[in-house]
Amino acid sequence: MSSYRITLLAGDGIGPEISAVAVALLERVASQHGFSLSFDPQPVGGAAIDALGEPLPASSLEACRASDAVLLAAIGGPQYDALPRQLRPESGLLALRAGLGLFANLRPVKIVPALIDASSLKAEVISGVDLLVVRELTGGIYFGQPKGRVRTEDGEERGFNTMTYSSSEVDRIARVAFELAQQRRGQLCSVDKANVLDVSQLWRDRVNALASDYPGVELSHMYVDNAAMQLVRNPRQFDVLLTGNLFGDILSDEAAMLTGSIGMLPSASLGSGGPGLFEPVHGSAPDIAGQDKANPLAMVLSAAMLLRVGLKQEAAAAALEAAVDQVLNEGLRTGDLMAAGCTLVGCQAMGSALLKALG
């Protein structure tokens, strides 16, 4: 029987509550599908600051590196906001991504039919949307040199950043996107601004050069301004969207809001070879922490991504996603999704209903 080690980073705020739900479901679904999971809880974020004085203790990072996948809930809270930047919970998250070399960020956006009215877009526009944004995470304009602010000779101040990608940086993120497109509907749309930017021309050339390695994938290119428009005009046209860091930052938030509900969105960050990091898109929701009000579904869907992408346990991932669909179809809702005619439940009751749906 296969057995996998999962580092569990419950973090802060609602993190421990939603983690408990995800762990119970993962244990159940693993036993149903013939593999076993062992969980290694480690402190990160505010919890690690409280326990050990730093947001990412070396022992937590080491545990992550030694595991098959990392499941993170959320970090942060107002009590840490006054700390110096390097000691804040968010620095722990950045250090974790860097320490694991996570260069690919994956955000699936799938419309759940039972929640179609939560979107600000018309049902006929978003019905059936099932897309994946693959964003480069460690390069591009956020990290390019030179950058800074200078005072010019005429007394003006000037700020500048550099959008830069090497061919190997483009190749490794493009290969992730091609491979994911192969596992999905076989359509890859690469987003750039090649009509204006040299860096985008290199991006496009490299993506084109790799296409022959993936004959089953239909490759297209789209300028980023058009992609922003097409995402709200006709989002069903997309399967996998490949983007650089800046364009992906913007487009993934736009795509995420097609669902209208932050409590539903999972994500994954992958490196080359080592364990991936799987986490909900939302934060630690300190305003509702400890009150059994949190929506655990984004965390559960992140656990499903961990199974599918991290452990290649497709059937178990699909079973977990089907359980989420089932409880929503039964009308169960946490407060953030509550609508007329539905039944309000807390985080724990939602967890119990999901366990029941798994059977």
Q: Which of 96, 107, 8, 138 is nearest to 274 (CA)?
A: 96
User: Residue 266, preceding bond cis, omega within 30 degrees?
Assistant: no
- CA angle, 234 then 239 then 244, to 5°: 95
Output the six-digit token pair for 260.
Answer: 């209208």
303 interacts with ligand NAD by CB under 6 A:
no
287 interacts with ligand NAD by CB under 6 A:
yes
The helices-and-strands tally (H runs, E runs) of the chain is 12, 14
Rounded-to-integer distance, Cα 121 and Cα 127, Å: 10
- Specify whether 253 is catalytic: yes
Q: Which residue(s) pair with 2 in the sheet?
A: 35
Q: Can you tell me which of 7, 138, 295, 313 binds ligand NAD, judged by CB under 6 A? A: 295
Is 134 within 8 Å of 102 (Cβ atoms)? Answer: no
* C-alpha Rg value of the chain to the nearest Å: 21
* Region 61-80 residues binding ligand NAD, contact defined as CB under 6 A: 74-77
Q: What is the contact mask toward ligand NAD in residues 205 to 244, using x (rule: CB under 6 A)?
A: ----------------------------------------
Rounded-to-integer distance, Cα 68 and Cα 266, Å: 18
Catalytic residue among 225, 287, 312, 325: 225
Catalytic residue among 130, 142, 292, 336: 142
Rounded-to-integer distance, Cα 310 and Cα 302, Å: 11
Q: How far is the CB of 336 from ligand NAD (least distance, A)?
A: 4
- Specify whether 142 is catalytic: yes
Using the Cα atoms of residue 236, residue 242, residue 243 and residue 249 in order, give the sign of their dihedral: positive
55 interacts with ligand NAD by CB under 6 A:
no
Q: What is the contact mask toward ligand NAD in residues 83 to 122, using x (rule: CB under 6 A)?
A: -------x--x-----------------------------
Q: Can you tell me which of 210, 326, 336, 358 binds ligand NAD, judged by CB under 6 A? A: 336
Collapsed DSSP state (helix, strand, coil) of residue 234? coil
User: What phi and psi, each to the nearest 5 degrees, are found at residue 130?
Assistant: -150, 90
- Specify whether 154 is catalytic: no
- Window contacting ligand NAD (CB under 6 A); options: 58-66, 214-222, 287-295, 351-359: 287-295
Catalytic residue among 50, 205, 253, 325: 253
Catalytic residue among 68, 80, 193, 293: 193
Q: How far is the CB of 207 from ligand NAD (least distance, A)?
A: 29
- Specify whether 249 is catalytic: yes
Terminal alpha carbon distance of the chain: 21
Total residues interacting with ligand NAD, rule: CB under 6 A: 22
**Which spans of this chain sit near ligand NAD (rule: CB under 6 A)?**
14, 74-77, 90, 93, 262-263, 279, 282-288, 294-295, 298, 334, 336
Annotated catalytic residues are 142, 193, 225, 249, 253
